[in-house]
Amino acid sequence: MSAIMIISMPSIFLFTIFLHVLPPAMIQSLPLAPALYVFGDSMFDSGNNNLLPTVAKANYLPYGVNFAKGVTGRFTNGKTVADFIAEFLGLPYSPPFMSIRRSTPLTGLNYASGSCGILPETGNLFVRSNDYLTNYLEPNVYDTSKRYPPQPFAQFLVDTLSKVFQRLYNLGGRKIIMFEIGPIGCIPSITRKKKHNVGQCVEETNQIVSFFNQRLPTFLNNLTSSLHGSTFILGQANFLGYDAIINPSKYGLEDSTSPCCTTWANGTSGCIPFVTPCLHAYKNFFWDAFHLTEAAYSLIATRCFNDSICSPFNIKELVRM
């Protein structure tokens, strides 16, 4: 028996596949995997932060305005990448770990929490997400960028993540999908705050993040080689996201610069509660100043499941292994 995990940076998808010898008729009616475990930040949070003492919450409209269950704590208008992958696998959405109060049969759990990161100190202030957005790029909040140049910081994150993956492996994780950090130099919270003269993105910020992403292929390949029976998959979502932002019409989008919801601080923060968002969220790439719309998440999940942005195997290939 093995498990599958999915991880978006700094989020993690872990999904576990259990292989049984079953009659063909039964196999046709079963999901492609028995369970999906999700780890990460607000990109994948499905409601854990609702029950935590933090201001990083999305448990109010217009968040969830296009989600069948309404407001759940997801930081988008509808489904996340994790939700789409669960659907593709034929599984229910992985419930928030914090919502489980009794022993019940499970097909996975979601441990993602908005404002978390790889480093323990990330998220301690309960204000904003991630090792880069807050920990590294906010020198008035953290002194990390004063202590680490960009490349040593990227290596520090990889070294710390290696210990985390070793722990997951020891707990039984064998099939793990990890997504790159996206082009955060293109998100509204960055582009509307930092001056930039060329293009619609702050390429200096994208370059800082690239030092981490560039280390991932070798890092994940080494883990697959050294941890017996494991398969680590890289979700190459950075270029896909960047291309959709620069060339939105190529992906059926119209607006790839502005948040769909009305946000605090002139489009640089989260959604203002109960203010009606844009009418056609499916044409927008960004939902608020940090997070993507369901349409953008659908693009990433579909390409990882069926195509080659996830390598060396896509999810469809991985579940057959």
280 is catalytic: no
Structure tokens at 10: 């700094």
Check 45, 83, 131, 288 and give the catalytic one: 288
Work out the burial of residue 281: count CB atoms within 10 Å of its CB; fewer than 13 is exposed, 13-18 middle, 19 or more buried: buried
288 is catalytic: yes
Check 8, 115, 189, 291 and give the catalytic one: 291
- Is residue 210 within 8 Å of 152, Cβ to Cβ? no
Alpha-carbon distance 126 to 234, whole Å?
29
291 is catalytic: yes
Check 8, 42, 94, 113 and give the catalytic one: 42
Helices (H), 46-191: 81-89, 144-147, 150-170, 188-191
Alpha-carbon distance 175 to 179, whole Å?
13
Work out the burial of residue 107: count CB atoms within 10 Å of its CB; fewer than 13 is exposed, 13-18 middle, 19 or more buried: buried
Residues annotated as catalytic are 42, 288, 291
